[in-house]
Amino acid sequence: MQAHIQVRDLNVEYSGHAALKNVSVEIPKQQLTVIIGPSGCGKTTLLKSMNRLLELSDETRVSGQVLIDGADIYDPAIDVTEVRKKAGLLAQRPYPLPMSIYDNVAYGMRIHGLKKGRDLDRAVQHYLELAGLWNEVKDRLKSPATRLSIGQQQRLCLARGLAVEPEILLGDEATSALDPISAQHIEERLHELKQQYTIVLVTHILRQAKRLADYVIFMYLGEVVEHGPAHEVFSNPREERTRAYLEGAIG
């Protein structure tokens, strides 16, 4: 297994309270890794440490290393916007930017100067197709993104995130706010995309984890309890707490 992301001795504190304790784990390249665990165990914190979104809240202290392709993303010399460009985020609630559907997808490409003119048009179409939204919006690209349904908005956010050509996709409970059909859409997209991207998905839906995961990380109270290939962890967990969680006894 080739590691794309390596987390080493990561400690994260929010206002003095420890959210992640000495977490060391590796995320395999071009596979779909799922982080599971009861609420409050630190799944989202771990996820957001990988694209440096933790820094947004006051009084957060991060120590340790997170390496992507061998380079520590917390190195002060590194441009944080480049880090975030490498790892795209699909949040729980879709947040369309206050602009048209076209502009939402084009946003990332424009600010990084990736594409212009006709290339931009083609790229917008490509990423909307990749997200499975193209057919539904191709006639109204200029209309405001807020007019889409929530399932469509989430796919728009997926297109927007893919448009900056990341290598990694981070999903934070990406289907929790959606109806079952939209959720299924997103799951299908993620399943296809894992051929090209390294995907890390946080979820509290065990069935979803079992459907999608190639690799599993189980967390409990800020620590990584167990991790490994999905078929191993799900059918034969080594740790007692993992077994308890999978059986529904905790969380």
Binding residues (CB under 8 A) for other proteins: these are 51, 53, 56, 58, 71, 77-79, 81-89, 91, 93, 95-99, 107-108, 111-112, 157, 160-161, 163-164
CB of 99 to other proteins, least distance (A): 7
Closer residue to other proteins, CB minimum distance, 161 or 237: 161
Closer residue to other proteins, CB minimum distance, 137 or 162: 162
Closer residue to other proteins, CB minimum distance, 127 or 218: 127
Closer residue to other proteins, CB minimum distance, 43 or 86: 86
CB of 43 to other proteins, least distance (A): 16
CB of 65 to other proteins, least distance (A): 15
Q: What is the sign, positive or negative, of the torsion defined by CA atoms of 198, 156, 83, 174?
A: negative
**How many of the other CB atoms lie within 10 Å of CB of 225?**
18
Q: Which of 81, 91, 126, 90 is nearest to 106 (CA)?
A: 126
Are the beta carbons of 172 and 145 closer than 8 angstroms? no
CB of 179 to other proteins, least distance (A): 18
DSSP string, 199-236: EEEE-S-HHHHHHH-SEEEEEETTEEEEEEEHHHHHHS
CB of 228 to other proteins, least distance (A): 28
Are the beta carbons of 215 and 230 closer than 8 angstroms? yes
Closer residue to other proteins, CB minimum distance, 85 or 194: 85
Closer residue to other proteins, CB minimum distance, 71 or 150: 71
Closer residue to other proteins, CB minimum distance, 91 or 193: 91
Give the β-pairing of 223-229 and 198-202.
unpaired
Q: Look up residue 239 and give its amino acid.
A: E
Quote the CA–CA distance of 127 and 106 in Å, as a whole number. Answer: 10
Quote the CA–CA distance of 147 and 192 in Å, as a whole number. Answer: 27
CB of 70 to other proteins, least distance (A): 11
Quote the CA–CA distance of 174 and 172 in Å, as a whole number. Answer: 5
Q: What is the sign, positive or negative, of the torsion defined by CA atoms of 34, 40, 46, 47?
A: positive
CB of 45 to other proteins, least distance (A): 14
